[in-house]
């Protein structure tokens, strides 16, 4: 798992195709980020969740879950939509290649791969938190809510989602030219 | 070569994990500070004696409302569910005013007094609001908005609703507290 997470930075295509082939790598590998990163992004809210957990477990859990949803619903939602598009497009494009559709481009494997693509986003958010705590407020990083206008917003979006988007486009392209790519990969 | 690449990937994966751990580490103190603070108030506890300025001038003292049932509505103009709840709260405030039920809005924008005034005037909110200087919500353990609290005629907190709550529910609580008041016991 550790190597796969590192692999997304060093050998992204091999790592993603390894996940698509079912050689390990699921969204559950990313649970530490899903459970911990929102707390690091919003320590006050996480503290409030802890406070309420002490008095009423359900209230505390509700705040904690709403914290996760508020911080991660956009990227995880995007991964879900991305996986859906990949699996649907593959069914249309590769309708004559039933093996590839059935084995590689199933929704669950596409979703696992798309979730792995978020690792650079998670890492950039973590880096932003660390830098800010050191007094270097690099506000282009995605640890702060992505808002703004024009070029500023574009830079922020690229820094937050540029890499995941590039990886996604790569996967989409690979699927579109499925035969050659799979032969190369295999 | 493969083993070498794998080692690199492992190192990269570990570094990614460490980023998350450091990010959490640097904010953990804040989480603990908030999370281990005084527990939020719940039903049955004596409402703290608070005082603050009314939006329209004058000084509010909760102790001055002894003998009345007080509905405290913690709100802000930037909170859509708070704004959505206003028409119904306004209706209830008018309906129960004659029987000694007092609605008090506790606004959370101490630096936006003119904006809050305009907002209340525009929406024709008839019950008074006070401006929380920053410690009232904390004293009551309010962390999400809207939060509605009902204090009985003896100054005891009897109901706490975190998040949006239906007007029927508030009315039910008011009726219950009025019955308690009429019977002369808690």
Q: Which B residues, 137 through 166, put their C-beta within 8 Å of a C-beta on chain A?
A: 141, 143-144, 162
The SS3 of residue A11 is coil
Is the minimum CB–CB distance between B17 and chain A shorter than 8 Å? yes
CB B178 within 8 A of CB B69: yes
Residues with Cβ within 8 Å of B129's Cβ and at least 6 positions away in sequence, in order, are B54, B55, B75, B104, B105, B106, B107, B116, B120
**Per 3-state DSSP, what percentage of chain A is helix, strand, and coil (rounded to 5)?**
80, 0, 20
Q: Output the pTM of the full model.
A: 0.68
ipTM value: 0.73
**Inter-chain contact A32–B20, Cβ cutoff 8 Å?**
yes
Tens digit of pLDDT for each residue in B64-103? 998 999 999 999 999 999 999 999 999 999 999 999 999 9
The pLDDT of residue B14 is 86
CB atoms within 10 A of CB B1: 5
Q: How confident is the model at residue B17 (pLDDT cuts 50, 70, 90)?
A: confident
Q: Is residue A183's pLDDT more than 50?
A: no
Q: Rounded to whole angstroms, how far apart are CA atoms A4 and A104? A: 18
Find the CB nearest A40 among B24, B32, B33: B24
Cα angle at B138 between B132 and B142, to 5 degrees?
95
CA distance A129 to A125: 6
**CA-angle at A104, arms to A103 and A106, nearest 5°:** 80
Cβ burial of B105 (10 Å; 0-12, 13-18, 19+) is buried
Q: Does the distance separating the beta carbons of A50 and B35 come in below 8 Å?
A: yes
């Amino acid at each position: 798992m550790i190597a796969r997470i590192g692999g997304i930075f060093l050998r992204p295509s091999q790592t993603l195709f390894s996940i698509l082939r079912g050689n390990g790598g699921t969204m559950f590998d990313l649970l530490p980020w899903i459970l911990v990163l929102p707390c690091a992004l919003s320590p006050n809210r996480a503290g409030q969740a802890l406070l309420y957990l002490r008095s009423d477990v359900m209230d505390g859990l509700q705040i904690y879950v709403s914290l996760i949803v508020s911080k991660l619903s956009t990227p995880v939602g995007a991964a879900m939509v991305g996986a859906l598009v990949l699996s649907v497009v593959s069914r249309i494009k590769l309708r004559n290649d039933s093996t590839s559709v059935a084995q590689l481009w199933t929704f669950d494997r596409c979703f696992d791969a798309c979730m792995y693509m978020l690792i650079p986003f998670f890492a950039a958010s973590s880096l932003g938190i660390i830098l800010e705590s050191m007094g270097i407020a690099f506000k282009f990083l995605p640890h702060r809510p992505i808002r703004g206008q024009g070029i500023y917003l574009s830079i922020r979006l690229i820094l937050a989602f540029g890499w995941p988007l590039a990886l996604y486009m790569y996967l989409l392209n690979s699927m579109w030219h499925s035969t050659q790519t799979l032969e190369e990969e295999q | 070569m493969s083993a070498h690449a794998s080692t690199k990937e492992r190192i990269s994966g570990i570094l990614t994990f460490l980023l998350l751990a450091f990010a959490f580490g640097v904010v953990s103190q804040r989480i603990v500070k908030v999370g281990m603070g005084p527990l939020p108030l719940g039903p049955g506890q004596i409402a703290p004696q608070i005082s603050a300025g009314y939006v329209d001038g004058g000084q509010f003292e909760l102790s001055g409302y002894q003998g009345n049932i007080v509905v405290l509505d913690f709100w802000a103009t930037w909170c859509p569910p708070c704004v959505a709840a206003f028409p119904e709260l306004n209706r209830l405030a008018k309906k129960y005013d004659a029987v000694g039920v007092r609605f008090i809005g506790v606004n959370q924008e101490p630096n936006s007094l003119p904006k809050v005034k305009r907002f209340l005037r525009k929406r024709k909110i008839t019950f008074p609001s006070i401006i929380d200087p920053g410690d009232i919500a904390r004293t009551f353990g309010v962390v999400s908005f809207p939060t509605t609290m009902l204090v009985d005629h003896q100054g005891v907190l009897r109901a706490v609703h975190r998040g949006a709550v239906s007007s029927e529910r508030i009315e039910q609580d008011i009726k219950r507290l009025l019955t308690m008041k009429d019977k002369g016991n808690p």
